[in-house]
């Protein structure tokens, strides 16, 4: 029996849907990202949205959900592995953010559709399920939409949670939901969580331990071959117009309030070393804001999208999406943003560390503190309290070849040691998918 609050949630969504659909045409006049692909959020898909999918009877459909850019990058690795391991499956990716959707569309093959996830309302969910007809549903990390998940479970669709994690703050919020969250989580057939701490937190929400596997983080499994790495680095440094004597400080995934601090670091360091700064804001919609900041500081800059080997400025503004993970290879000193201010909680530092360069990050790494501790302990990562410490560390590494080389080696070895999560989580997918395929004829291609 479903909790009363879940039924109330369902009723509110049922009543709101007609109103939301009525005002949907007006959303295009609002600022921001609300109107983006909103018809798909309502569960309304054009023929072209899912046209590349064959019938369910022909092959299993795997619905993978990845909320935003970070999860999409993990999803791309997972989808590639699914195609390699199960060539007859047909994956469908859904997102909830414009940036994540745009990144996925730019990277996915033509026969893998990417849609915006339906609103968590009965009619939107039912329409989406009729259109997608999933054989298996995979949720990456922890975006738990109660109505969608309970409906999938009710319809007998096997569900997996991969790369699962729960922060201490999220745990407190989920515990306030009581039986609702327990009911939703119990619908998952299997769960692969990132760490033992994540397992303990899910267990506190009522998930049976025998359903969970501590499998590590898929985001740490970005492929890297040593010979290929050298080619990528040389290619990108050539595109950036970096001379052999020039060193590059790459500040990736920065947020508002961080860029001004990092520009001060750059100015101080540039006074006594041939330094080029690459600044990559986390969100593309902030590019105009960062441009205004650079102009206000009197700093000439080049846009990365326009560079083809000639650069007339010491600052490069990375104005493209999805390139940062490889662009880190061109750097000599790598700073991962989202970590300097108390309201932030860090980003994936292993995607920088895998290139074998010192990685720096601020004091606020709540979502990635485990990775930060690993890198710091190994000597390849450096958690700084402020930009003064950051400046001093970079200068120290620039002045000492031996200390710098040790940090580079430690960063790369630590990143490599964390790989293998994808293989472990794919084993769970195989278990659930084989059961789903056995049930396929009984469903007659409909769910």
Residue 36 exposure: Cα atoms within 13 Å on the Cβ side: 15
Could you identify the residue written with the tokens 């002045």?
399
Which of 131, 137, 171 minimizes the C-alpha distance to 151? Answer: 137
Q: Is 207 helix (H, G, I), strand (E, B) or coil?
A: coil
Q: Strand (E) positions, 337-441?
A: 359-361, 381-383
Of 71, 258, 259, 351, which residue is the catalytic one? 71
Residues 6 or more apart whose CB falls under 8 angstroms from that of 389 comprise: none
Cβ proximity of 24 and 51 under 8 Å: no
- 70 in Cβ contact with 348 (< 8 Å): yes
Cα separation, 343 vs 364, in Å, equals 8
Quote the tokens at residue 440. Answer: 């396929």
Distance between CA atoms of residues 407 and 414, nearest Å: 11
State the Cα–Cα distance between residues 147 and 12, nearest whole angstrom: 11
Query: Is 71 annotated as catalytic?
Result: yes
CB 129 within 8 A of CB 149: no
Q: Whose structure tokens read 């590494």?
A: 397
Indicate which residues carry an active-site annotation: 71
């Amino acid at each position: 029996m479903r909790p009363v609050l879940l039924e109330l949630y369902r009723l509110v969504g049922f009543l709101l849907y007609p109103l939301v659909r009525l005002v949907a045409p007006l959303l295009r006049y609002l600022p921001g990202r609300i109107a983006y692909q909103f018809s798909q959020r309502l569960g309304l898909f054009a023929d072209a949205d899912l046209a590349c999918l064959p019938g369910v009877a022909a092959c299993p459909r795997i619905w993978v959900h990845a909320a935003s850019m970070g999860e999409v990058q993990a999803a791309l690795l997972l989808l590639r592995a699914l195609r390699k391991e199960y060539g007859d499956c047909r994956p469908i990716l859904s997102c909830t953010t414009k940036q994540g959707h745009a990144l996925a569309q730019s990277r996915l093959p033509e026969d893998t559709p990417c849609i915006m996830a339906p609103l968590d309302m009965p009619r939107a969910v039912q329409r989406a399920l009729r259109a997608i007809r999933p054989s298996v549903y995979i949720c990456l990390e922890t975006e738990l939409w109660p109505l969608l998940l309970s409906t999938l479970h009710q319809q007998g669709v096997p569900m997996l949670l991969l790369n699962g994690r729960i922060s201490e703050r999220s745990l407190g919020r989920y515990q306030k939901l009581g039986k609702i969250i327990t009911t939703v989580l119990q619908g998952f057939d299997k769960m692969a969580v990132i760490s033992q701490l994540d397992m303990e937190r899910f267990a506190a929400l009522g998930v049976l331990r025998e359903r969970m596997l501590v499998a590590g983080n898929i985001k740490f499994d970005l492929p890297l071959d040593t010979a290929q790495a050298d080619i990528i680095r040389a290619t990108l440094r050539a595109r950036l117009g970096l001379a052999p004597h020039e060193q590059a400080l790459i500040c990736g995934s920065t947020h508002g309030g961080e860029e001004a601090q990092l520009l001060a670091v750059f100015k101080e360091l540039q006074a006594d070393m041939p330094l080029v700064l690459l600044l990559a804001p986390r969100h593309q919609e902030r590019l105009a804001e960062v441009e205004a900041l650079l102009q206000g500081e009197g700093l000439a800059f080049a846009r990365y999208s326009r560079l083809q080997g000639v650069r007339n400025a010491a600052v490069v503004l990375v104005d493209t999406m999805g390139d940062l993970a490889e662009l880190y290879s061109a750097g000599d000193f790598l700073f991962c943003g989202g970590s300097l201010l108390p309201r932030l909680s860090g980003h994936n530092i292993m995607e920088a560390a895998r290139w074998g360069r010192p990685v720096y990050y601020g004091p606020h790494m709540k979502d990635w503190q485990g990775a930060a501790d690993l890198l710091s302990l190994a000597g390849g990562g450096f958690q700084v309290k402020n930009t003064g410490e950051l400046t001093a560390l970079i200068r120290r590494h620039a002045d000492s070849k031996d200390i710098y080389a040790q940090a580079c080696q430690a960063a790369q070895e630590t990143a490599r040691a964390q790989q293998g999560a994808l293989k472990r989580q794919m084993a769970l997918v195989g278990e659930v998918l084989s059961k789903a395929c056995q049930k396929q004829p009984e469903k007659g291609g409909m769910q």
